[in-house]
Amino acid sequence: MDFKEYSILNAYLIRKILSKYIKRQINIKWPNDLLIGQQKVCGILQETINHKEKNFLIVGIGINTLTSPNINELKTTYLSKFSIKKVDNNMILDDVKKTYEKFLTQIKNSNFLKLKNIIK
């Protein structure tokens, strides 16, 4: 699997995690935003780097959990505004870690389409 496929799956993985906290639908605005309604709740930045002749994918995830920034060009929101349970940043971080560990184990035995269906 190449890094372009990972970048698609990252949005699905984070949406799956955040969906545990709210009953509202979270939409993916390609290539790197997650929205509740028309408001941005999460941004995902991804960059590939080459170090010592190996390629690495660096993923940065910004989730508005308890507040959201005021941006003139973009409506934003935050997770706890819609949450069905207490939003705890440490729990979310732990969930992200566990989800990615499970995902990295699964990619050894699966192709892109199979993984996409598992995540969805």
Flag residues of the chain having pLDDT under 50: none
pLDDT of amino acid 81: 95
CB atoms within 10 A of CB 19: 13
pLDDT of amino acid 107: 75
72: left (phi over 0), alpha (psi -120 to 50) or beta: alpha
Q: What does the alpha-carbon distance between residue 48 and residue 91 come to, in Å, rounded to a whole number?
A: 28
**Residue 94 is inside which H or E element, if any?**
helix 89-106
Domains along the chain with CATH numbers: 3-119 (3.30.930.10)
Residues paired with 11 in a beta bridge: none
pLDDT of amino acid 38: 94
**Residue 101 is inside which H or E element, if any?**
helix 89-106
Nearest C-alpha neighbor of 84 from the set 44, 36, 28, 120: 36
pLDDT of amino acid 97: 95
pLDDT of amino acid 112: 67
